[in-house]
């Protein structure tokens, strides 16, 4: 690693003005991109001095976080063999692999390319298809203005996976995206951008992973899922960093008329994760299903701030998060359904269920509603429970070991959400991840 830093114009650690200028030197980007970065950086400096919105952040323990310890990587690292859950599991129609903020490789089947599908790393796609993505990139999904983290990301984004599906094109096989970190102290600012034109359909499975169990990491990311009329997207993001990684993300899905978004979030890794997840139903008849499966152990904190915003009539949103907590971990879920005055006849649902495996774990679930329309149905709820000894004893009386019993109980708890996920690979991956977390598999 010392060799690398000695031979390249490396970017210093931290995120100061000097660092920003050094970072720009390593980028070969059109002016409009650089201009946007500069605007975002000014905003970041301003917002960094201001307090974060307490409504969103007051429960999130950021005291130990030191952004100055992390470093954007100017050089591609040499992969040493990532242990990922999905990568080797199936045939994908295309794959994009990022390591330490750089796109290592990208592939897409010829047949999809012929249909006009674009799938690759953001830096490359910007060069080759800048005109296609310029109207969509950070303009109506995740914009710089939201808060310190969105501005930070907009100034420093390093890459990310882009999927563009033209009108009427259906992709049957899933596409795969891996965001990974290797070097100690490395920062990844990846930006996932999915654009489905009218009546397009696709499935994108995305995973985050660390090469080593001990390297500290930082992810300040963004996800934008932009669906046209009658478009259908299944998007899965499985967050599986090591327990030394900080994960901050703004994620936003926007769905036009009669479009349908199924969005599944898996929260397994990281030291602390805070995800601001927004779904906007912009056109009549749009619908979104949001599934969350989280499993926190050790001293992890997993925090989700979810919003389902109904901007148009006859829209439907359905959010179900299932959290399992063990040891001294903490899960925070703050959910909000917003219904604008124009969004009559909408149906909004949100629910969070927690299963506590240890008395020392803590879960905060705070659902909320803001309704401007007068003819809607909105339902919300939250539950928390623990594995009781009688369940374990009952299973053990039938010959299951304590671990098998716990495994079954935890899997059973997740079942109602995994029942909703149509992609078998994802169900199996989640099962496998749960096994690892429980200490059964390897």
Tokens of 263: 């969005």
Q: Which range touches other proteins (CB under 8 A), out of 92-100, 250-258, 283-291, 392-400?
A: 392-400
For residue 358, state whether it binds other proteins (rule: CB under 8 A).
Answer: no
User: Closer to other proteins at the Cβ: 43 or 395?
Assistant: 395
For residue 366, state whether it binds other proteins (rule: CB under 8 A).
Answer: no
User: Closer to other proteins at the Cβ: 173 or 435?
Assistant: 435
For residue 379, state whether it binds other proteins (rule: CB under 8 A).
Answer: no
Q: Which residues contact 164 (CB under 8 A, 6 or more apart)?
A: 117, 118, 119, 125, 129, 132, 133, 195, 197
96 φψ region: left (φ > 0), alpha (ψ -120 to 50), beta (else): beta
CB of 213 to other proteins, least distance (A): 22
Three-class secondary structure of residue 126 per DSSP: helix
- The string over 379-414, giving b where at least 16 C-beta atoms fall within 10 Å of a residue's C-beta and e elsewhere, is ebebebeebeeeebeebeeeebeeebbbbebbbebb
Q: Which range touches other proteins (CB under 8 A), out of 169-177, 283-291, 328-336, 394-402?
A: 394-402
Identified binder of other proteins from the candidate list 63, 80, 88, 398, rule CB under 8 A? 398
For residue 383, state whether it binds other proteins (rule: CB under 8 A).
Answer: no
125 by Cβ neighbours in 10 Å (0-12 / 13-18 / 19+) ranks as buried
Q: Which range touches other proteins (CB under 8 A), out of 23-31, 203-211, 295-303, 386-394?
A: 386-394
For residue 394, state whether it binds other proteins (rule: CB under 8 A).
Answer: yes
Residue length of the chain: 442
User: Closer to other proteins at the Cβ: 32 or 394?
Assistant: 394
User: Closer to other proteins at the Cβ: 365 or 376?
Assistant: 365
Q: From CA 24, how far away is CA 157, in angstroms rounded? A: 11
Identified binder of other proteins from the candidate list 6, 49, 64, 397, rule CB under 8 A? 397
CB of 393 to other proteins, least distance (A): 5
For residue 248, state whether it binds other proteins (rule: CB under 8 A).
Answer: no
For residue 81, state whether it binds other proteins (rule: CB under 8 A).
Answer: no
**SS (HEC) of 52-67:** CCHHHHCCCCCCCCCH
Contact positions toward other proteins, by CB under 8 A? Answer: 389-391, 393-404, 408-409, 411-416, 440-441
């Amino acid at each position: 690693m010392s060799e690398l830093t000695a031979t390249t114009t490396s970017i210093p650690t931290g995120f100061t003005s000097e660092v920003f200028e050094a970072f720009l030197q390593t980028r070969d980007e059109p002016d409009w991109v650089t201009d946007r970065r500069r605007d975002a950086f000014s905003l970041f400096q301003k917002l960094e001095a201001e307090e974060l919105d307490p409504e969103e952040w007051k429960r999130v323990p950021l005291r130990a976080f030191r952004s100055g310890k992390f470093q954007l990587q100017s050089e591609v690292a040499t992969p040493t063999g990532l242990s990922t859950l999905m990568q080797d599991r199936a045939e994908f129609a295309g794959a994009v692999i990022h390591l330490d903020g750089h796109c290592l490789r990208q592939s897409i089947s010829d047949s999809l390319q012929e249909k006009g599908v674009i799938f690759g790393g953001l830096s490359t796609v910007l060069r080759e298809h800048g005109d296609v993505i310029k109207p969509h990139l950070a303009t109506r999904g995740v914009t710089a203005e939201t808060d310190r983290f969105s501005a930070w990301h907009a100034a420093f984004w390093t890459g990310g996976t882009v999927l563009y599906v033209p009108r009427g094109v259906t992709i049957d096989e899933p596409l795969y995206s891996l965001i990974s970190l290797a070097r100690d102290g490395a920062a990844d600012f990846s930006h996932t951008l999915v654009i489905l034109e009218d009546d397009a359909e696709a499935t994108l499975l995305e995973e985050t992973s660390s090469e080593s169990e001990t390297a500290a990491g930082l992810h300040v990311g963004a996800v934008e899922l932009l669906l046209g009329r009658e478009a259908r997207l299944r998007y899965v993001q499985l967050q599986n960093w090591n327990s030394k990684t900080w994960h901050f993300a703004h994620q936003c899905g926007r769905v036009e008329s009669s479009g349908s978004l199924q969005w599944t979030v898996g929260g397994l890794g990281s030291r602390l994760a805070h995800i601001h997840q927004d779904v906007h139903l912009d056109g009549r008849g749009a619908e979104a299903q949001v599934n969350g499966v989280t499993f926190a152990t050790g001293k992890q904190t997993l925090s989700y701030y979810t919003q389902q915003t109904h901007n148009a009539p006859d829209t439907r949103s359905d959010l179900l998060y299932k959290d399992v907590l063990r040891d001294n971990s903490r899960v925070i879920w703050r959910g909000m359904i917003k219904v604008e005055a124009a969004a009559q006849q909408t149906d909004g649902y949100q629910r969070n269920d927690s299963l506590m495996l240890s008395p020392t774990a803590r879960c905060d679930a705070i659902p909320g509603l803001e309704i401007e329309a007068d003819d809607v149905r909105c339902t919300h709820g939250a539950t928390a429970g623990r594995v009781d000894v009688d369940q374990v004893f009952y299973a053990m009386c039938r010959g299951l070991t304590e671990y098998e019993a716990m495994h079954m109980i935890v899997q059973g708890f997740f079942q109602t959400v995994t029942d909703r996920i149509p992609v078998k690979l994802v169900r199996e991956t989640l099962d496998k991840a749960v096994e690892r977390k429980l200490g059964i598999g390897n």
